[in-house]
Structure 1
Amino acid sequence: MRTTLIIPTRNAEPYLDALLAALELQTRQPDHVLVVDSSSSDATVPRLRAWGADVRVIDASRFNHGGTRRWASEQTDADALIYMTQDAVPADPHSFAHLLAELDGAPDIGAAYGRQLPHAGADLLAVHARAFNYPAQSQTKRLSDAPRLGIKTCFSSDAFCAYRHAAMDAVGGFPADVIGSEDAYLAARLLMAGYAVRYAASACVYHSHDYTLLQEFKRYFDIGVFYGREGWIRDAFGAAGGEGRRYVISELEMLKNSHQLHRLPEALLRSGLKLVGYRLGHMEKWLPASLKPHISMFGNYWRRPAVAGSDQRTG
């Protein structure tokens, strides 16, 4: 199975020491490493080129979470594509080998995403988020699981995910223009076309975020925009409300077990901001265009000159 590793970057230098060291230790090396850099102003590009990566530089204003990944997939004819983010670090030398083995575990598996562990020193709430969304047990999800799993059926993550290239092409690949959640979009397309999505708990990376309250609000605004625009996903897999309630209950239980109930007001405020952000995202078509960049994690998405990904200029 010929494999290309694809990593979008933007001023990634703070992450490169850990990332490159972990990549060099992998027992299963990709045949090609393609980096798509959004005009970094630090040493990201020269460092990665010196390391041996194929680095393509695009205008930062034209980056799109779906369109740029779609364009990258068109630059390679590899059988499997591993997508990572610049801040995800393989947790052991077998991360790639395990991920590809689980992708190849059944002929109908179109995507396999790995387990995300919290970075050392991560906040307790970030630790809970990783444990809730990335448990220790692997799972294969098919469309028939939607009545049981709901919106979680199409949950996936491009922080560390491998796709069968032929399956991607069969369902049209990543969307050309999307604010985020391109991984859920592609997983949903795969599932609805009869493919399976594998959660590969054996393949681990370190990847977590200690979001501020404002960042949580903005992040869920963007998620709300995505699901508000992609109503077909909600129709096929259900709304996210039930999963959100389960998350809050799990988080409160974690605070109790960790003897940190003094953080209960913060946790409840954080959950409230997520809900408000998500609901506002659903209503974004009624919001002033001038407001949207200020309440979004991806302000440039609202300022972009054209649909990014349809004309990725490299240099």
Structure 2
Amino acid sequence: MRLEADVLIPVYRPGNRLEILLEQLHTQTCPARKIILMNTGKQYFPPGLEGKYEDVEIHHLRKEEFDHGGTRDRGIRLSKADVVICMTQDALPADAHLIENLLKPFSDPQVWATYGRQLPAKDCREVERYTRSFNYPEESRIKGAADLGTLGIKTFFCSNVCAAWRRDRYLELGGFEKKTIFNEDMILAGHLIRKGGLIAYCADAKVIHSHNYSALQQFHRNFDLAVSQTMHPEIFGGIRSESEGIRLVKMSMKHCLQIGKPWLCFQVLSQSAGKYLGYKLGQRYGQLPRKMILWCTMNPTFWQEERR
């Protein structure tokens, strides 16, 4: 029996890229049953998209209602499909087989989630381009609890930029955290692995998605990442996480030398320093003064909610 899938996309101040995404989703070899848009700020939503597609369901939220986990959870609970594919508004399918290839591994009932390969956009810088190839290799892989010894924290990696979740198992696990600073996908993936489920990385399910973050932006992002992991010791406690980061730094610098651009090593080092410092401070957020936390985070709204 072929599984039915809905696509869920949180939306905020969308540009024409959202319309391109919707058009591409409608040309898939395995079309979605429904596309659910969770839009923050009705005043920012393009009026031309309202009612344009019969299969696109739009839900408008106030800005204070948005949460990385809670908003996605609400969207998934609106779905009746077998599988819900989470995407972001800035990720574009690389071809017409994205949904088809994300669904294939679900033929194994032990696979509870799948995620796709993120390819760099044309404007992606060289260092980030290499990082994409490191984090999203050409070979597909199925991950489970048995891989924790070799993969460490990467066992739990599953990105909602493009990830599919078996809806019945999602509901059994309790869904995404309703209030989370960030990293709702990896938190749920950790629960999934701990409960005996499998996650499939689908290298043939490809999206175009990349960012040219500065070292400071990497700092903020990794601060929030570490906060999310520190808040969930039941998942991340005792799991090695830094060795893979060190390997990425070494491999990135080697790549810069191999392509004859040794000056890019300085960019690797500055980006890595931003990531490392942000991560280390995030692990110790409980010891930091509030003003410092608000400077370090990229999600100050979360901390306002925490205070209440």
TM-score by length of 1: 0.92
Matched, 1:83 2:90: no
Which letter maps to 1:165? Answer: R
Question: What residue ranges of structure 1 are gaps of 5+ in the alignment?
Answer: 308-315
**Counterparts of 1:220 and 1:305, CA distance in 2:** 19
Which letter maps to 2:75? Answer: A
**Counterparts of 1:105 and 1:246, CA distance in 2:** 34
Other-structure match for 1:125: 127
| Greater CA drift, 43-52 or 200-209 | 43-52
**Counterparts of 1:97 and 1:85, CA distance in 2:** 18
Which letter maps to 1:177? Answer: K
Other-structure match for 1:239: 240
**Counterparts of 1:297 and 1:184, CA distance in 2:** 18
Other-structure match for 1:313: none
- The total of aligned residue pairs comes to 305
Which letter maps to 2:273? Answer: G
SS across alignment from 1:34 = strand
Contact 2:118/2:207, CA 8 A, preserved across alignment: yes
**Counterparts of 1:58 and 1:120, CA distance in 2:** 33
> What percentage of aligned pairs have identical amino acids?
31
Alpha-carbon distance, 1:54 to partner: 0.5
**Counterparts of 2:74 and 2:211, CA distance in 1:** 27
Contact 2:215/2:273, CA 8 A, preserved across alignment: no
Contact 2:82/2:168, CA 8 A, preserved across alignment: yes
Query: 1:208-223, aligned counterparts within 5 Å?
Result: 208-223=210-225
**Counterparts of 2:283 and 2:34, CA distance in 1:** 39
CA RMSD, 1 decimal = 1.8
**Counterparts of 2:121 and 2:157, CA distance in 1:** 21
SS across alignment from 1:198 = strand
Alpha-carbon distance, 1:46 to partner: 4.7
Which digits, 9 at most, give the CA deviation of each residue in 1:262-310, with x for residues without a partner? 1212211211111110011111122222332332222322234899xxx
Alpha-carbon distance, 1:201 to partner: 0.7
Other-structure match for 1:183: 185
Which digits, 9 at most, give the CA deviation of each residue in 1:53-105, with x for residues without a partner? 11101111221111111111111221100000000000001111111112x23
Structure 1 ranges of 4+ moved more than 6 A:
none
Matched, 1:230 2:232: yes
Matched, 1:137 2:139: yes
* Change beyond 3 A, Cα 1:271–1:106: same
TM-score by length of 2: 0.94
Other-structure match for 1:311: none
Alpha-carbon distance, 1:137 to partner: 0.3
The structure showing larger relative contact order (alpha-carbon pairs under 8 Å, at least 6 residues apart) is 1
Other-structure match for 1:72: 75
SS across alignment from 2:291 = coil
Other-structure match for 1:25: 27
Contact 2:222/2:276, CA 8 A, preserved across alignment: yes
SS across alignment from 1:77 = coil
**Counterparts of 1:25 and 1:41, CA distance in 2:** 29
